[in-house]
Structure 1
């Protein structure tokens, strides 16, 4: 397989070997980095580098752009990859240094180790990370119903990450401003190019057409012109940055987190957040809403206040531990206002992501390649369409109940 690697990937491996001070040529084994359906726009490899004279081995996860990409996507995808390199190589190290200077217990470390590689070419640089699978982390089965433990761990991680922004912005405002100056909301700026407007419209139409004209009359009435509201919400996202914004992960769906499990109880005990290509400066409720409303069933939606309070309590506790006053930097009234103003993002994403979560293997799309109509997979009627409609109906009922649109 080594000979089949793209030039940038092979060059990245060579660079790491050169930097690793190996005394003899190491043994290199390469396999597929992820299973079908784990990722939708990148190619990944798992690489193990082992020197027979050393007892340890280096386990890498390398992600790079698909070899065949539509020409008009190159610049956008360059920005996306640059954003992730920026997070791992520049932003997280500064945030981590800040939080560690406060000597807090259990600092936010819910990201994989990053390996910076210097390549002398114009290709999009591969993203090289520690292979979390070698440490025992795995993806949750995306088609399974979510449970409390798998909700709490990511919510806690998001809260602790967001807290660093608020504390640093409060205590080192100039450093925070400098750190975030180059952060762009690549996803919101390009959501039409990514096809989100089409996906939202078609998924919403599919959903509304599935409703009963009599039994669901109220929902049909309330959802009139909802597509216009959702697209206007997306149009306004880039400009919705204020003094209460924080750095967010940006792409908070189920496959962008990996869990470590207790071997005896099979319960999750830790989580790593992966894929930071859509990081942005925004309301933290965008991360929460994206994650929660794309996974919550009626049971969790009925208990949404608990999870909102759990997020806010974790956030404010960590802000205080970092030495700032949460009532000043992110007061509860602002949190509630953000929930009302930004939860709609969760509904936007639920329309599309719920379907992705329910894809069978033969329905998984190959995005941004030269294959035509790849995006149609997100708007087609899937095998689990009945489940999709039922889940989406619960989400819409929740938003109606709380007058969130």
Structure 2
């Protein structure tokens, strides 16, 4: 057993038998090991269990466990963990059933949680072993691979993501009509939530403040030409909370957003002969929200897409997305999304693209040796905290100038930038929930 898995001794033969519904004597041997490298997933611990069975049979699956320490408390208290349990056990299968397409791995430890029922068991959390601290999913690694987060995704990969995301979104619209209570449950906004303003607003601001301070330094920084953006970033983060509250309010067209759509939460399947990317599956559904699909698009574009694709092919990707989405919606007998509405929502959510570029991108493309410290990532007072190390990374510093200029041209750093004033009155007064 790997030394990093010793604390998971509850994963034993009895556990495996219960999970796979087999006899104890059927198991010849089993091995537990980390499914991904250290530092590639700080919101959970992902283990791979490989089981050797009688008659030369084999089985393997993944166990996603709550991390320990500060991150466990943070994730439990925020509602992220229970949200993901319901997604894997209830909502994702319903979405897949509506569109007749698999979008993610199957959940394996849902023995007492029926999928097609019409009951009111949304508050039943007794379907997970080990006190609800783990989720077991099928291991797709034989057919699906994770792309290199540092290289980011080229156009062909992005096209597949757009088509898969459109199906996920369209299916959620249908599920909302059929089983409203499930979308309401997993679609609850957890980040931009007034009852958590004190803690969440500070969490949102800190990356902007940290980057702003770093750009303001004069220690032979090659990015000194960006020094004037230091004040811009600090000013902008003061608007971030209100922009987020406005953008996540129900708009004319809403879907269940994945909420954390970046490279490491997407698995790709490739053609055995040509090597071309053919399919994608999504994982990690902790951050789902019911809101405009523009939020998912902004987050993905700024966290995971190659610079040249983002600068030259972004509109083409948006067109592919909306065409696929509306095709699926027509098949499902649901209202379509107009290009005008999506363009408007993308403008409203530009702030979220900047948030992803400042807060998520540095972590996603950090240097290979830049392992994330689960305790340190929330310690903004540390002189050299994890995030600071990431924004000092060579690749991020290469991308940063064009990113800041991109949002500067969009007017986000202007003193009179106020998307709420531009769109807010009508949207707030005519708050239509689809």
TM-score scaled by length of structure 1:
0.82
> What's the counterpart of residue 60 of structure 2?
59
CA gap of 1:233–1:20, structure 2 versus 1, over 3 A, is farther
How has the CA–CA distance of structure 1 residues 219 and 396 changed in structure 2, closer, same or farther, with 3 Å as cutoff? Answer: same
Q: Which residue of 2 aligns with 1:367?
A: 374
Equivalent residue, structure 1, for 2:183: 180
1:103 corresponding residue in structure 2: none
Structure 1 residues 319, 263: CA separation in 2 closer, same or farther (over 3 Å shift)?
same
**1:297 and 1:394 in contact (8 A); partners too:** no
Partner of 2:356: 349
Q: Report the alpha carbon displacement of residue 69 of structure 1 after superposing the two structures with TM.
A: 3.9
Distance in 1 between residues matched to 2:227 and 2:32, nearest whole Å: 56
Q: What secondary structure sits across from 1:225 in the alignment? A: helix
**Pairing of 1:113-152 with structure 2 (within 5 A):** 113-117=106-110, 123-133=131-141, 135-152=142-159
Residues in 2 aligned to 1:162 and 1:211: alpha-carbon distance in whole angstroms: 42
Moved more, 288-297 or 204-213: 204-213
Give the structure 1 partner of residue 26 of structure 2.
24
Greater Cα shift, 147-156 or 68-77: 68-77
**Which residue is 2:283 aligned to?**
274
- Counterpart secondary structure, 2:46: strand
Secondary structure of 2:133's aligned partner: coil
Q: Is the 8 A contact 1:354 1:392 kept in 2?
A: no
Q: Given the superposition, is the C-alpha separation of residues 297 and 130 from structure 1 closer, same or farther in structure 2, using an over 3 Å criterion?
A: closer
Residues 212 and 24 of structure 1: is their aligned pair in 2 closer, same or farther, counting only changes over 3 Å?
closer
- Between the aligned partners of 2:7 and 2:361, the Cα distance in structure 1 is 34
Structure 1 residues 365, 163: CA separation in 2 closer, same or farther (over 3 Å shift)?
Answer: same
**How much does 1:368 deviate?**
4.4
Structure 2 gap ranges (5+): 111-125, 418-434
Find the aligned partners of 1:293 and 1:370 in 2 and give their Cα distance: 20
1:400 aligns with 2:408: yes
Higher mean C-alpha displacement, 309-318 vs 109-118: 109-118
| Partner Cα separation in structure 1 for residue 232 and residue 72 of structure 2 | 41
Moved more, 197-206 or 277-286: 197-206
Report the equivalent of 1:104.
none
Matches within 5 A, 1:161-310: 161-169=168-176, 173=177, 175-183=178-186, 184-189=188-193, 192-193=199-200, 195-207=203-215, 225-236=235-246, 240-303=249-312, 304-310=314-320
CA contact (8 A) 1:301 1:395 kept: no
- Kindly state the Cα deviation for residue 140 of structure 1 after the two structures are TM-superposed: 1.1
Structure 1: stretches of 5+ with no match in the other structure? 101-106
313, 328, 333: which is aligned to 1:323?
A: 333
Q: Which residue of 2 aligns with 1:112?
A: 105
TM-score (norm 2): 0.77
Note the aligned Cα RMSD (angstroms).
Answer: 3.3
Q: Work out whether residues 158 and 288 of structure 1, in 8 Å CA contact, stay in contact via their aligned partners in 2.
A: no
Query: Does structure 1 retain, via aligned residues, the 8 Å contact 2:192–2:245?
Result: yes
CA displacement at 1:71 relative to structure 2: 7.5
1:83 aligns with 2:83: yes
1:216 Cα shift? 5.9
Counterpart position of 1:40: 42
1:98 aligns with 2:98: yes
The residue number in structure 1 matching 2:74 is 73
- Whole-angstrom distance in 2 between the partners of 1:125 and 1:44: 12
Shift of 1:62: 0.6
Q: Quick check: 1:9–1:126 contact (8 Å CA) kept in 2? A: no
Deviates more, 1:245-254 or 1:181-190: 181-190
